[in-house]
Structure 1
Amino acid sequence: MKMAFVIFDGMTSMDFVGFYEAVTWLSILKAKEDVSWTFCADKAEITDDRGLKMKSDAVQPNLGDYDLVFFPGGLSTRTLRFDENFMDWIRTAEPVSYKISVCTGALLMGAAGFLNGKRATTNSSAYELLAPYCAEVISARVVRDGHTITGAGVTASIDLGLYLVEMLTNTETVLQVQQKLEYPYYQAGKLQDVYMPT
């Protein structure tokens, strides 16, 4: 499975890192074959919303060459969704099997047309912004509609990553990853389209 992690100026690093930490265990544990990942951006180096700089592996690659594309959020998504050059690049992910976002990364997926007719979630502060792009905004940690999966705000990225691990493997594997992360809040074995831990 070839994964593309889309990074961009003004993103929230916690949105990215929680998901990244969880799903890359698929490779470390050899839970799936041929797992690889690429940090993709619209330029060689990006700066997050607090000044952390990150280098990309690939500048504007064709996202359609990947099996999974992940979009983090951040305040900058509110303006990036109107940046036609940036969005033209994001739309190259159209044929990708798994399109995944957390927080306001859903605004990028929505503006690209990936949420048309689908249920989705985002940071609670952006429900009204997301509503025009999807069929229904759901208040939940994780929402899956087919192979399109969205997570709520910031720390939900960890839940989202664990959810995907369980979806792609099994409960035993996600429990192993959960233990590695020392994250007691994800409730394994509740793999439903709308994940709302109790």
Structure 2
Amino acid sequence: MKLYIKNMVCNRCIMAVENELEKLGHQPLNITLGEVLLNKELTDSEKEILSLHLQNLGFEMIDDKKSRLIGQIKSSIIEIVHHQNSDLKSNLSDYLSSRLHHDYTYLSNLFSETEGTTIEKYFIAQKIEKVKELLVYDELSLSEIAAKMNYSSVAYLSNQFKKVTGLTPTYFKNIKENKRRPLDEL
């Protein structure tokens, strides 16, 4: 049985969900961002109990197909940006269409109408969060960050960063007090 879970956006989230499932006596076969594959079907009462336990941890089980698809779009983007170093072999629209087996126009319209923002803006927000993380770690230069995040130039990264945050990357790096936002709040 496959379950879809909203707000499961990092490895700690996966561990928390896995621990909760095991506490409730369920054996997950595989857990990825936003998805859990269980070894058996859950009864309605088991789903309800699991849903309550997950809500206490800040997660939400997704039941309807459209919400599941939105969750898969978000999980795919988070996976690309935060776990694959933005190493996208094709453009985002082709990647999402191929991965989710839907026309990109349908995905884009569904995402925009449900989330109130475009897939592209969500993707940019995720990239900027990753850039903030890299700036705070202070291990890479701005040009190394631009290359790592697949920006064509430092100038383009700086312009996009300032447009989203209102700050230049250098100023952000210097103040470091501007806290990063959790991925599930983007």
Same fold (TM over 0.5): no
Structure with the largest fraction of helix: 2
Q: Relative contact order, CA 8 A, sep 6+: which one is greater?
A: 1
In terms of fraction of residues, the more strand-rich structure is: 1
Which of 1 and 2 has greater Rg?
2
Query: Normalised by the size of structure 1, how large is the TM-score?
Result: 0.28
